[in-house]
Amino acid sequence: MPARRHPSLLRIAATMAVCLAVSAVATLLGLWQYGRHVERADARAAYGSAVESPVADLGAVVPAEASTLPPGAQWRTVTATGSFDPAPPTVLRGRPVDGTAAWQYLAWFDTVDGQSLMVNLGWVPQPGGTEDASAFDLPSDPGVQITVVLRDWEEDDGKTTAGSITRITPAQLPAPTGDPVPGYGMLRELCADDSCVPTPIGEPVPLPELTLGPHLSYAWQWWLFAVMAPVGGVLLLRRDARMDRAAPAARPPQRRRRLTDEEIEDAL
């Protein structure tokens, strides 16, 4: 009966090393996806808390000496009184709204307290929209009151376009006249001359919808794959062992017996 053959130790070690490496990478990817889920969950919780907070004065939420928005300030609804900078609004390109190609417009708002807040005034559809920002007539009296939702500055993408910007960031915006608020505001209401409107330009830019996304399900998928990789390696080695046992054993080579003189004579 032929001896039973098994995979070599080198083959077993190489297979399991590959499976464990795949399992380690999958575990790290699962942790990365879970971290993104936690970040989104925290942002969503902060958003809900800020939205439910009562409307406050801008100076009470963001002190004049602040270099960044204080914790809990993003998504807060605040009011401010002052006047718009007389310069034409800045055009923000490449920012569709609800799937519609759009131009958004921004302008500095100088408060009576000496702060300057960059305000996203609203948007118009790009086809047939007004590219010349000077065509929009912003109220010039010093008693304008605005209600905005505060946002952090966006990251600069390094792009520059004549007469427009691609990110709401100080690096691409004109310099303010007062102490700049470390963030911008999305206009919700503008009151001047005893009348209030949501925006003097087109439509207000809607607030983004914060969702948790699929990151948690992705994390569980990666972790399941991390568990399955070593199991798959064991099953693969067992299958190879069964295939080796089922294969016919190679017969050892037979030595030719030397013919005797009598056998040679008989053959002749």
DSSP secondary structure letters along 137-153: ----STTEEEEEEEEPP
* Residue numbers of the chain with a pLDDT score lower than 70: 1-7, 49-50, 127-135, 162, 210, 244, 246-268
Give the pLDDT score at 255.
65
- Relative to beta strand 102-111, strand 90-92 is antiparallel
Give the pLDDT score at 1.
46
Give the pLDDT score at 246.
66
Top CATH class, 55-197: mainly beta
Domain ranges of the chain: 7-52+207-232, 55-197
Give the pLDDT score at 119.
96
Strand residue runs (E) in 102-237: 102-111, 115-125, 144-151, 164-165, 179-192, 195-197
Which one, of 222, 218, 238, 226, lies nearest residue 21 by Cα?
226
Contact partners, residue 193, CB within 8 Å, separation at least 6: 139, 141
Given a contact cutoff of 8 angstroms between Cβ atoms, the answer to whether 210 and 44 are in contact is: yes
The identity of residue 106, as a single letter, is L
Given a contact cutoff of 8 angstroms between Cβ atoms, the answer to whether 82 and 144 are in contact is: yes
pLDDT digits (tens, 9 = 90+) for 231-244: 888 888 788 777 76
Give the pLDDT score at 7.
60
Q: How many CA atoms lie within 13 A of 214 on its CB side?
A: 3
Give the pLDDT score at 268.
58
Ramachandran angles phi, psi of 183, nearest 5°: 165, 180
Give the pLDDT score at 99.
82
